[in-house]
Amino acid sequence: MNVLRYLVAPLAASIAFAPAAQSAGDLDFKKIAPKVAQNVGELLEKAHYSRRKLDDTLSKQFLKNYLERLDYNHLFFTQKDVDGFNASYATKLDDAILNGDVDAALKIFAVYQQRAEGRVEKVKELLKGTFDFKSNRTVEFNRQKSPWPKDEAEADQIWRDRIEGEMLDRTLSKDKVDAPVKVITRRYDQFLRNLHEQGDEEVIAGFLSVLSETYDPHSEYMSRSQLDSFNITMSLELKGIGAVLTTEDGYAKIRELVPGGPAAEDGRLKVGDRICAVAQGDGEFAETLDTKLDKVVEMIRGKEDTIVRLKIIPVTATDPSERKIIEITRKKVKLKEQEAKAEIVEHKLPDGTTQRLGWIVLPSFYADMQHSGTTGAKSTTKDVAVLLERLKKENIQGLVMDLRRNGGGSLEEAVNLTGLFIKRGPVVVVRDSNGRENILKDRDPSVAYEGPMIVLDNKLSASASEIFAAALQDYNRAVIVGDSSSFGKGTVQTMVDLGNIIPLSLSGRGNGNEAGALKLTIQKFYRISGGSTQLQGVIADLKLPSLWDQADIGEGALKGPLPYDTIKDVSYDKLEKSLFKTELKQRSTARIAAEQEFKWIEEDIERTKKRIAENKISLNQQTRRTELDEDKARKEKRNAERAKIKHAEELVYAITLDNASKPELEPKKEKKDEKATAAHKEPNATKPADADGDDDEEVEAEILRVDPIRVETLHILGDLIEFNNTPAPATAQTQQGAAAQ
């Protein structure tokens, strides 16, 4: 199979944009659903890496997973419901799927919807009562591992405690815009509205996706709209007005405007505006109140250079009847926030000298897979090469590749990006279920950057990120810094377009997109040294304290991951040089021990572990208020201490794909209202116990704090540069060589 079609898929494939596909109109998805289900079942049996039979054993697990997908906190179904589902479907779903029968999905969902409607009615009755918040009872905040309520009476008690907890949260909140009852009622009304928007296509797609994920966590059925969203994620491009929508009280609401998009450039549409109708060109307006969000976006999105008109309720409107019409021409929108970007950091050393360091942030391994190989097709490797060229022109002395939160993407891009930092050679081995191995190689002898290098990752760095990090570690090319290990996803997926399998007479459209696609795990990948990243991830050479480094994050925390195994290593030319890992670790350990931010992180880690283990929240107002006061006092004390600490000022230049070729670079200016980004402000400080309880000063202090992970990584890179320029004693090098084996 062509490697261009391989994916080491992102952990979070979908983005905030709703799907771009045209409305299915009068297409009845139920017409093609039997054939779709049948093909999904057959492909999973015959083509999935595990070659696991779709039998009674898998059927039981499938049903269990589906019930937990619908009611993950075990709040709506009772044990009686679950027993009934088991009696009806536990050993029958396998045969049903292979026969194209998806009635179970709709029937189980109908019961779930009925239970939810009944529960919301009871919630509203509970909200009419009074709560004194003086009891010593507690409520579980996570019931995923708790048993289903044995009957309705037990469920009622669980919900009484839950609603009392929600009322207490709102009572303690500093946000007093609306009364607690009103806020909670609105929340559950929105929950029901979202539930009622689920049509047969969404229900069946969810059902088939759970079936796929029962084989392994990364196989997934994608409906037409989900596939479109996935393609947008990979290509970083869409055609529309560049607005991110959310839903509120039945309206589609503008949550964000994409910088450089038509809506942002036009300037009239504002964040917070609510859309109440949409018209195509000079056509009639179609009302959108209580319309499913995906459908609203389908109406707004369309062909490039066509016109869409929006009837909105302005966010500034004082009169609820005020309406405004905005006409916008659709354009191609580049999702630039998801592109690779870089910085030059003027890093000051204790002796007063300055190092010029490069920092590249890579959010994902993106690629325009639909137009791969064509001129102008989006490519991670091409973009990083452009940034590296500018960084070298600016005479950087060392480089950090920041892969924190990078969930993966294109396998080809992982191989090619590795090639920018090594001479030709093997990068990764992929093996199919028959044991056939294929060595994917970098065949380009040129090297884009040869200087000192660090790869920074964390527990959310997965798939392609792990291929890249593992290869550079095996080649002895870079020092891996971050969490104890990366995510641990060592599997390869391919996209199977079901429209190419289902007869055109059933698929609804000539291109067959209505049938969706199956993202199918077909291979596992292995390091050239013979190990696998599956479950184990890439072990960091230098570990930094981080709140992400938790046991419940990673491949091992998912349901049904494939096992870890190894293969024979392949021949490759490992760089025979010291990376001074022992010396780097000694210096880093000393700095971490002296750095107050890391001490706070360690405290937060222990507190988080304790809260997760206890899994309960008090329903006593005085107890909760004391806890909140303690949290507030702790944050205030930390912020006071932070204010006394003087951090070395660093001159930073931001480099984007837009300004990389410009003659001069402007120093980056920090804005006081700048939001913390995943790349530069990792959430390692204490997370508020109650986000609604934070005042503006506390929030600002959290946002503007120094990112200790970034600071320490720059220190480590500085040390690596120093050791490269002044070799360590022979004994230390020998010790390091032994440790690197």
Q: List, by residue number, the catalytic residues.
A: 463, 474, 489
Report helix, strand or coil for 152: helix
β-pair partners for 252: 247, 275
- Across 458-544, the runs of DSSP E, i.e. the strands, are 479-482, 491-497, 517-526, 542-543
d(CA 63, CA 60): 5
Is the Cβ–Cβ distance between 294 and 225 less than 8 Å? yes
**Distance, first Cα to last Cα, the chain:** 34
Spatial CA neighbour of 258 closest among 273, 236, 276, 278: 236
Task: Give me the sign of the Cα torsion angle 392, 393, 396, 400.
Answer: negative
Instruction: Give backbone dihedrals phi and psi of 32, rounded to 5 degrees, phi first.
Output: -100, -10
Of 394, 369, 396, 393, the closest CA to residue 380 belongs to 369
Q: Which residues contact 84 (CB under 8 A, 6 or more apart)?
A: none
Could you tell me if 130 and 171 are in contact, meaning their C-beta atoms sit under 8 angstroms apart? Answer: no
Q: Which two tokens stand for residue 372?
A: 């791969």
What is the spatial distance between Cα 100 and Cα 106, in angstroms, rounded to a whole number? 13
Q: Are strands 542-543 and 479-482 parallel, antiparallel or unpaired?
A: parallel
Distance from C-alpha of 471 to C-alpha of 562, rounded to nearest angstrom: 21
**Block residue for tokens 């550079």:** 472
DSSP 379: B
Report d(CA 411, CA 329) in Å as an integer: 36
Identify the DSSP state of 541.
S
Q: Are 499 and 491 in contact (CB under 8 A)?
A: no
